[in-house]
Chains A and B, each alone.
Chain A
Amino acid sequence: MSHREPSELAREAGAKLREVLAAGPLNPKDRMAIPAQEMPVQDHVDRRGNMNEVALGYTPEQARLEAMRCLQCRNKPCVAGCPVAIDIPAFLKAVADGDPRAAIDIIRRNSLLPAVCGRVCPQESQCQEPCTVGKALKNVDKAVSIGRIERFAADMEAAAGTPDVPEVKPETGRRVAVIGSGPASITVAADVRREGHAVTVFEAFHKPGGVLLYGIPEFRLPKSIVEREIAALKAMGVVIRTNFVVGRTRKLSDLVSKDGFDAVFVGTGAGLPKFMGIPGENLVGVFSANEFLTRSNLMRAFDRARADTPICNCRKVAVLGGGNVAMDAARTAVRLGADEVHLVYRRTEAEMPARIEEVGHAKEEGVVFHTLVNAKRFLGDSYGCVRHMECLRYELGEPDNSGRRRPVEIPGSEFMMDLDTVIVAIGNESNPLIRQTTPGLGFNKWGNIVADDDGRTSLPNVFAGGDIVLGAATVILAMGQGRKAAQAINSMLAAAPKT
């Protein structure tokens, strides 16, 4: 893909918008004729050397034009594709009319984190997948870019200054503990606090934000956005206690029985890295993506001059996996100055769970993709440092129960790759700490908390949501679960007056 200068995109959009506005009311055919707006991005050579956000965001003209592509379908298929059912045509209309402020008010009715979700939602498999425009043009990439417009509206709001602090009802004297500070917890804290209940968030790390902070890199989600959301919580009076690991610093049951919390929400995420259990996995230079990304993001090891936390000096890197985590690790390695970054995935590109946009960006940045390949073992030198990876080639076999064609190994297809760093990004499970220290809390066989649609667990007054319930999922799903759990907590507290 050739890089188009942001200034050029802006100029074109400006001219086009004037033309469209001059032509008068639009019919569906006119709307379909408006060119899909390309996202302005940082030059792919420049960005290999910095951590700044890659996607620069639409200009106001681009956002309006893109929103005008929406046909305002009466059956709103896009809304069904959004896990939190944002009224998409309504907010697109507001942007098309040049009123992003009205748009953000519509979005905020359903979503608390539009600046985040507009950036990181896998739109091509959610809201944009069923979009009529994309269907008509037989290309999901040509669907209305709902996420980008959502981001635009959120960024405009932020640029306009500090948003109003959401109204908080008079204090009820009830207290709610929220464990973890990822998107599920942020949502619960805000929604419960709004009703006037006192909320304390407990976070194990020294900074709140969950995966938004330690996992997703700056070049995809600027930390200032996460900090803004946290500041909004604090302004509402939510107390955030960092360096507090529930299960160790204090047990969950003590929060209820000794500390007097009326309800607890568990939003501890899926933070336990999976390894493959193959020979050589503990050699020096083999990392989990969690470790690699946490060092770079939370501990700021990317800023080698200032940070005390070291990060490997990787030259030839293999990243194992095909999800967002793998893309983030590979692209971070590029930015740390690696000469070669190879992404190794067991299935084909069509099955990669990563957002399409990130796959494209990774390729532009020079990440080499090896699909239908998997690691068999790692070999090290006399210092115990990884030097080679033996790989096996795969082919797609018969479809399994889920309809996906299973990769099967091709016997005798072994080959070697030379490298000095391996990053394992094959998934995360849930941390067993709460399980081990909270008798009576029900978990399934994958270690996730069992909760009903409203987040109720097997323990009274204990709710859960996000990745700890869903397994590694998405920001918007975590947020949606937080919303429901908060409603359930609020109605529970309203129904049982303080004794």
Chain B
Amino acid sequence: MENSNTVLFRKELAPDVYQIRVHAPLIASERRPGQFVIVQVDSDFGERVPLTIADADPAEGSITLVVQAVGKTTHRLADIPVGEGIANLLGPLGTPTHIERFGRVVCVGGGIGVAPLHPIAKAMKEAGNHVTTIIGARNQSLLIFVEEMSRISDEVIICTDDGSAGRKALVTHPLKELCETAPKPDCVVAIGPPVMMKFCAETTRPYGVHTIVSLNTIMVDGTGMCGGCRVTVGNETKFVCVDGPEFDGHKVDFDNMMQRLGAYRKHEASAHEQCHLDMEASRLEERRRADGK
């Protein structure tokens, strides 16, 4: 059995958000909810970037990734046509989510975070939990996985910043309401941008509701050998790639984590800009060729 890393299917879910199914039977059969892969689009000069396994089909031997094209690597990944392969794919990595029959579980997904949340919510439901899902996005066009989440949740609450779909609210509003209503949740799983996870943890803290967050630090190897992904959790240093990616949200030092995420911002911005320039150039080139015909 070998991973060919061939892209089997590709679809744009929302602007700059792509769902990609990849042939990787080894990973598909071993992976469990909460785990991720490391992807590299060029063996010599490419960057290694972590992406959560949003779904897997061991029968087909495929895994599904949901990628938000934010920088050079994610853009290039989203551009790989069906039938072609991804240079390098390593996984499954990270400690799987602890799934248990807690009782009432609230799953909060912000933006692209809904994708990694999906396998966890599904497993929580299968374990016999009552699952309430809160999905948040800036506007309607950025909402993803609503149908998939509706299928596996007992209840779905949608929030948008501008009110173009569902409630005009931040995800922390319904979360607070749920914490205040009896019976209050037994467990909250929040995945999304770091600020969202931070405020979800702040929201549940006064109610003492156990809150799991999934951290998306910068990584290099993803196997515990570089320490680049480290975060401070309850005054201890943890490696997100092996000790996580999930941690107790009430113990994570989010401010330090967000500062560390910004370590290479300047470099990334220029690489991203260059990437857009390159893409623009190849688009112009294509058009010129088409016009020439």
Contact = CB atoms under 8 A, between A and B. Distances in A.
Interface of A: 204-207, 241-245, 248-250, 271-273, 275, 277, 281-285, 287-288, 290-291, 294-295, 299-300, 303, 306-310, 312, 383-385, 431-433
Contact of A309 (B47, B92, B256): B47
Contact of B45 (A204, A243, A283, A307): A307
Interface in B82-124: 87-93
B42 interface: yes
10 contacts: A206-B48, A243-B90, A272-B224, A272-B225, A275-B227, A282-B253, A309-B46, A431-B224, A431-B225, A432-B242
A308 B45 contact: yes
B46 A308 contact: yes
Interface stretch (B172-180, B208-216, B230-238): B230-238
Given A308-B72, A310-B268, A300 B45 contact: yes
Contacts of A384: 255-256, 259-260
Contacts of A205: 221
Most buried by A among B220, B223, B224, B226: B226
Given A282-B237, A308-B73, 18 more contacts: A204-B90, A205-B221, A206-B87, A242-B88, A249-B27, A249-B91, A282-B232, A282-B253, A285-B263, A288-B227, A290-B225, A294-B225, A294-B226, A383-B259, A383-B262, A384-B255, A432-B242, A433-B223
Contacts, number: 121
A248 B92 contact: yes
Contacts of B260: 282, 284, 384
Contacts of A243: 3, 88-90
Contacts of B224: 271-272, 431-433
Given A248-B93, A249-B27, A309-B48, A290 B227 contact: yes
B67 to A, nearest CB: 16
Which among B30, B228, B255, B256 has the highest number of chain A CB atoms within 10 Å?
Answer: B228
Contact-residue size bin, chain B (C-beta under 8 Å from the other chain): 35 or more
B221 A249 contact: no
Contact of B226 (A206, A283, A288): A288
Nearest to B88: A206
B40 interface: yes
B26 A250 contact: yes
A300 B44 contact: yes
B181 interface: no
A250 B88 contact: no
Contacts of B267: 310
B30 A250 contact: yes
A299 B91 contact: no
A346 to B, nearest CB: 20
Question: Which residue of B223, B242, B253, B256 has the most chain A CB atoms within 10 A of its CB atom?
Answer: B223
Contacts of B88: 206, 242-243
A284 B26 contact: no
Contacts of B48: 206, 299, 309
Contacts of A277: 237
Given A206-B88, A284-B262, A271 B40 contact: no
**Is chain A's interface secondary structure helix, strand, loop, or mixed overall?**
loop
B40 A291 contact: no
A12 B127 CA distance: 80
Contacts of A308: 42, 45-47, 72-73, 271
Q: Which 7 A-B pairs have the closest CB atoms?
A: A384-B259, A310-B267, A291-B226, A271-B225, A308-B47, A288-B227, A310-B264
A271 B227 CA distance: 10
A303 B237 CA distance: 31
B225 A312 contact: no
A285 B44 CA distance: 25
Contacts of B226: 273, 288, 290-291, 294
Nearest to A247: B223
Given A245-B93, A275-B227, A281-B237, A303 B256 contact: no
Contacts of A291: 220, 226-228
B46 to A, nearest CB: 5
Nearest to A204: B223
**Residue of A281, A287, A291, A431 with most chain B CB atoms under a 10 A cut-off:** A291
Nearest to A292: B226
A13 to B, nearest CB: 38
A303 B259 contact: no
A307 B45 CA distance: 5
A294 B220 CA distance: 8
A446 B200 CA distance: 39
Contacts of A287: 227-228
B92 A249 contact: yes
B30 A206 contact: no
A303 B45 CA distance: 9
Contacts of A306: 45
B88 to A, nearest CB: 4
A384 B230 CA distance: 14
Nearest to B92: A248
Nearest to A431: B224
A284 B263 contact: yes
Contacts of A383: 259, 262
A299 B256 contact: no
Contact of A206 (B26, B43, B227, B242): B43
A121 to B, nearest CB: 24
Nearest to A312: B263
Contacts of B93: 245, 248
A271 B225 CA distance: 5
A275 B255 CA distance: 21
Contacts of A282: 230-232, 237, 253, 256, 260
A216 B262 CA distance: 28
Contacts of A312: 263-264
Interface string B18-54: 0000000011001000000000101111111000000
A307 B46 CA distance: 6
Nearest to A382: B259
Contact of A431 (B47, B92, B223): B223
A428 to B, nearest CB: 8
Max count, chain B CB within 10 A of own CB: residue among A241, A248, A275, A384: A248
Contacts of A285: 263
For B220, B231, B256, the residue with the greatest tally of chain A CB atoms inside 10 Å of its CB is B220
Contacts of B40: 206
Contacts of B237: 275, 277, 281-282
A350 to B, nearest CB: 30
Given A281-B237, A308-B42, A206 B259 contact: no
